[in-house]
Structure 1
Amino acid sequence: MVRILLVEDEPAMATALRSVLVREGYVVDHVSGVALAREAARFGNSDLVLLDRTLADGDGLSIVSDLREYNPGVPIIVITALGGVTDRVTGLDKGADDYLAKPFAMEEMLARIRAVRRRPAGLHLRQIKLGRLAYDLDNDEASVSGKRLDLPRRELLVLGTLMRRRGRTVVRRSLEEAVYGFDDEIQSNTLDSHVSRLRRRLADATADVEIHAIRGVGYLIRQIS
């Protein structure tokens, strides 16, 4: 599953974009400004960013470096009413992978998304390995010793978030944001249930990794020594 961070402050446009993206099978996290997008970037779990420029609290281009710091190589498509040649050149020079001027057809946006995801990822680390476990960042797939590990979507999102920060503690809030999206209601013990089931699956597959609970903080994944 592909997770998209949508940075758009026009409610009607955000609703329309989210509806189209979800219908196409994407997981969408929506934020409405520069500050919120910078905060969302810290989770480092976006596979692509749709970034408006003319946000209420600043120019969306100002956070391109933040998005890439926390999620190296993440494709960024600027969507904006600033469609002049100079504006497009500025956006691309600032690090955007593509630049789409409003108004645009939804079909074109979807085609642009598919196109940038087909490109070589540059700095993007395509596969993370830990013990006998491998996690494919491009396709959001897990495998153990080369054999695909089939996981329910929520558990796969938990695993992907932990693997991106392997060896480090991931706070509960980051995991909850990764699993549920910003607009979902989160039950108090549901995350723990996902982690518990994921632990059993990894053990059954002899992945040679373990997930540790850090009381009152979150979880971390590491290789069994």
Structure 2
Amino acid sequence: MRLLLVEDDEILGDGLVEGLKMEGYAVDWLTNGKLADEALKMNCYELVVLDLNLPDMDGMTILRELRARKDETPVLVLTARDTVPDRVEGLDSGADDFVIKPFELDEVCARLRALARRNEGRSTPTIEHQGIVLDPASHQVTFNDENVELSQKEFEILSFLMGNIGRVVSRARLEESLYSWSSDIESNTVEVHIHYLRKKLDPAIIRTVRGVGYIIDSENDTSSDSDEEE
């Protein structure tokens, strides 16, 4: 899951980047408000973690600009402003949740999982479909009640596809979600991970729509335009 972190405190930002990467997020980190606003215009993120006190453009302005563009990306605000009027202004400007500094990384991650869950339209902490149970908090997967060992990227791809059940996801969209700016991506990386997911789960679960992308169907589908090993 790709996340934009906007935080101008170098020590705090560095710690957050490392912690969020350990949780499986692909993190782009910016310390400048204007650059963050441009990044949000040009890139697609699943989540935004936003400080309010930033150089060049403050976080409230970034929020208002984001929502004015009809961008519904969930935003978690990090702030030292802990008064009720500050929180009211932030929520009315488009924030989805707040964490008051100083904070614990575990709380930030839990709130991010809750925002992702809400954005995907589900209320339960786990995602269950066709015998698969995926737990974003523990990074555990079972299939037909058996534990399945997945690599980090395999887990992230499965999580993204299961968060979009019934919708075709292109390879480019998967890459955009899985890798930050600093990542080095090989041309067939997604295909390799899909191949191993099919071997570990069931070849029929992830269907290839030729020339378009991949899909986990809402119901079993043996459409002729699929190629499971593509």
1:61 aligned onto 2:63: yes
* Unaligned runs of at least 5 residues, structure 1: none
In structure 2, C-alpha distance between the alignment counterparts of 1:65 and 1:202, rounded to whole Å: 42
TM-score, normalization by structure 2:
0.67
Amino acid across the alignment from 1:98: F
Amino acid across the alignment from 2:216: I
Q: 1:64 to 1:153 in 2, by over 3 A?
A: farther
In structure 1, C-alpha distance between the alignment counterparts of 2:154 and 2:57, rounded to whole Å: 35
Contact between 2:2 and 2:178, CA under 8 Å: does it hold in 1? no
* Unaligned runs of at least 5 residues, structure 2: 31-35, 222-230
Question: 1:86-129, CA deviations, whole angstroms, 9 ceiling, x for partnerless residues?
Answer: 333311444432143xxx54xx2526415636979667513433
Residue in structure 1 matched with residue 149 of structure 2 by the alignment: 150
Shift of 1:151: 0.9
Residue in structure 2 matched with residue 36 of structure 1 by the alignment: 39
Residue in structure 2 matched with residue 160 of structure 1 by the alignment: 159
Amino acid across the alignment from 1:221: I
Query: Pairwise mapping of residues 42-191 of structure 1 onto structure 2 (< 5 A)?
Result: 42=44, 44=46, 46=47, 49-53=48-52, 54=54, 56=56, 59-62=61-64, 63=66, 69=72, 76-80=75-79, 86-93=85-92, 94-100=94-100, 104-105=101-102, 108-110=103-105, 112-113=107-108, 116=111, 125=122, 126=124, 127-191=126-190
In structure 1, C-alpha distance between the alignment counterparts of 2:134 and 2:110, rounded to whole Å: 23
Residue in structure 1 matched with residue 224 of structure 2 by the alignment: none
Higher share of residues assigned strand: 1
Contact between 1:22 and 1:28, CA under 8 Å: does it hold in 2? no
In structure 2, C-alpha distance between the alignment counterparts of 1:184 and 1:164, rounded to whole Å: 23
SS at match of 1:203: coil
Contact between 1:134 and 1:143, CA under 8 Å: does it hold in 2? yes
Q: 1:61 to 1:136 in 2, by over 3 A?
A: same
Q: In percent, how many aligned pairs have the same letter?
A: 24
Amino acid across the alignment from 1:218: G
SS at match of 1:170: coil
Question: 1:147-180, CA deviations, whole angstroms, 9 ceiling, x for partnerless residues?
Answer: 3322111111111111111222111122113333
Match for 1:8 among 6, 9, 34?
Answer: 6
In structure 2, C-alpha distance between the alignment counterparts of 1:85 and 1:128, rounded to whole Å: 35
Contact between 1:128 and 1:163, CA under 8 Å: does it hold in 2? yes
Q: 1:164 to 1:114 in 2, by over 3 A?
A: closer
In structure 2, C-alpha distance between the alignment counterparts of 1:18 and 1:57, rounded to whole Å: 21
Contact between 1:52 and 1:60, CA under 8 Å: does it hold in 2? no
Number of aligned residues: 204
SS at match of 1:29: strand
Match for 1:209 among 205, 211, 220?
Answer: 205
TM-score, normalization by structure 1:
0.68
Contact between 1:77 and 1:96, CA under 8 Å: does it hold in 2? yes
Q: 1:136 to 1:79 in 2, by over 3 A?
A: same
